[in-house]
């Protein structure tokens, strides 16, 4: 009986991880392991430490609340190594993700039917994405070119 | 230079010692999330960001968006769709009658979570700061938790053959960053909340708004609070 008990204790000590039961009925070390996962989205505060000009520009428009990576995608690798350049965005696709008209969207949110609104033109033909109100100089240039 | 908390944390991430990011104590937080349905535009940014941040396999979702259509004459039986989890947004669709709206879904990080209770090996647990996590090294892939979750938030990861779910971006929130889904939400429909932080705006919000949780009758202690949610949402 004693031998069996001793064998059980030795086996249990060998098998059960040291951190098991540290916080509850689980392996406590798992918390730190999960927390150590690398970050993929840098976060807008990190972007704004370098791109202060864009941050200042955004403050003047409605997109002040939109984080950089909402449009530009995950860019922790760029924050870590600025020589890694983010891909150029196609505004005809990116802007439509939010602003394409949909009956399920809240009524207060600005929406357009892009096929009618721009006829497939890229949105930055007229709008500056960081301060999205219509830019008169861009509109004039577009009209002079006979587009739209 | 005075840097925001997240940027301070980022210095440690860059230095390769993220665990040394300062000022995080497990017992000083109790994480939750606020989802304002009245602000969700169904753009799918949260779903894409979650998949990227957490390496979620194609066809599986830790968060997803549902579009509800509640007909005038079928209030108790709404039509719900979620093409590809709402990852690429939603087709326009014609609204013939009733109402339609988006509802983002995710793990509710329940305080009394059924998934934790059914795990036979202690691989699923709730951390002292209120996040339900899975220990991949301990999970045996029995799927009990997948069946137990009343919100359908768990899946068996085909790469690891272990249970997987939303971690509330635990690797981010422990470093002073917000979750990936909250970071990219363009309308602020998702807000990470720390119920133990008396300065967190969640307290004022909960006092002044009518919020609810999903399936309150299950008594799971869900910590994802929904504002402006229609009664037809399941």
Task: Inspect the interface and report whether the beta carbons of A45 and B4 lie closer than 8 Å.
Answer: yes
- What Å distances lie between residue A12 and A138, B34, B122, B212, CA to CA? 73, 43, 15, 45
Residue closest to B32 by CA, chosen among B105, B111, B134: B111
Return the higher-pLDDT residue of A59 and B3: A59
Beta pairing partners, B68: B80, B101
Q: Does the beta-carbon distance from A20 to B10 stay under 8 Å?
A: no
In this structure, what token pair is assigned to residue B189? 């429909």
Non-local CB neighbours of A98 within 8 Å, separated by 6+ positions: A109, B41, B43, B45, B186
Cα gap B230→B68, rounded to integer Å: 9
Residue extents of the structural domains in chain A: 40-86, 88-148
CA distance B72 to B232: 12
pTM: 0.89
Q: Could you tell me the domains of chain B?
A: 5-9+29-227 (3.30.70.20)
pLDDT (0 to 100) of residue A132: 87
Which positions in chain A touch B4 (Cβ < 8 Å)?
A: 45
CB contact under 8 A, A49 and B186: no
List of chain B residues whose C-beta atoms are within 8 Å of the C-beta of residue A77 = none
Task: Place B1 in a pLDDT band, splitting at 50, 70 and 90.
Answer: very low
Nearest by CB to residue A106, choosing from B26, B38, B94, is B38
Contact assignment for A70 to B100 by CB distance below 8 Å: no
Distance of CA A78 to the CA centre of its chain: 13
What is the percent of chain B where pLDDT is above 90?
82
Q: Is the pLDDT of residue B11 over 80?
A: no
Averaged pLDDT score across all residues of chain B: 92
User: Is the CB of A74 less than 8 angstroms away from the CB of B52?
Assistant: yes
Question: Residue B77 pLDDT > 80, yes or no?
Answer: yes
Alpha helices (H) along chain B: 5-14, 45-54, 114-118, 144-148, 170-173, 180-184, 202-208
Residues of chain A with Cβ-Cβ distance to B84 below 8 Å are none
A81-A44-B84-A86 Cα dihedral, nearest 10 degrees:
-30
């Amino acid at each position: 009986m004693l031998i069996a008990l001793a064998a059980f204790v030795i086996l249990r000590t060998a098998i059960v991880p040291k951190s098991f039961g540290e916080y509850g009925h689980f392996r406590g070390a798992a918390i730190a392991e999960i927390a150590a996962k690398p970050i993929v989205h840098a976060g807008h505060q990190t972007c704004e430490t370098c791109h202060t000009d864009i941050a200042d520009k955004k403050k003047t428009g409605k997109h002040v609340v939109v984080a950089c990576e909402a449009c530009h995608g995950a860019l922790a690798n760029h924050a870590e190594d600025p020589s890694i350049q983010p891909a150029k965005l196609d505004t005809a696709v990116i802007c439509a993700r939010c602003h394409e008209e949909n009956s399920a969207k809240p009524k207060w949110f600005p929406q357009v039917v892009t096929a009618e609104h721009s006829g497939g033109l890229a949105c930055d033909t007229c709008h500056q994405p960081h301060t999205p109100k219509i830019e008169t100089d861009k509109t004039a240039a577009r009209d002079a070119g006979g587009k739209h | 230079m005075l840097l925001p908390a997240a940027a301070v944390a980022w210095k440690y991430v860059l230095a390769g010692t993220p665990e040394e990011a300062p000022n995080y104590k497990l017992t000083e937080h109790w994480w939750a999330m606020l989802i304002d349905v009245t602000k969700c535009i169904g753009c799918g940014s949260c779903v894409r960001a979650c998949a990227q941040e957490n390496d979620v396999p194609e066809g599986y979702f830790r968060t997803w968006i549902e579009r509800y259509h509640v007909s005038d004459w079928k209030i108790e039986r709404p039509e719900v769709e979620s093409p590809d989890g709402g990852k690429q947004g939603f087709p326009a669709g014609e609204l013939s009658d009733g109402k339609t709206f988006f509802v983002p879904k995710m793990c509710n990080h329940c305080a009394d979570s059924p998934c934790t209770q059914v795990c036979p090996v202690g691989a699923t647990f709730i951390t002292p700061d209120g996040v339900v996590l899975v220990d991949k090294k301990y999970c045996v892939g029995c799927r009990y938790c997948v069946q137990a979750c009343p919100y359908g938030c768990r899946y068996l990861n085909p790469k690891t053959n272990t249970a997987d779910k939303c971690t509330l971006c635990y690797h981010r929130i422990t470093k002073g960053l917000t979750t990936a889904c909250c970071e990219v939400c363009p309308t602020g429909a998702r807000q990470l909340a720390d119920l133990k932080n008396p300065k967190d705006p969640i307290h004022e919000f909960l006092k002044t708004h009518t919020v609810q949780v999903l399936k309150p009758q299950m008594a799971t202690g869900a910590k994802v609070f929904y504002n402006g949610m229609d009664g037809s949402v399941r």
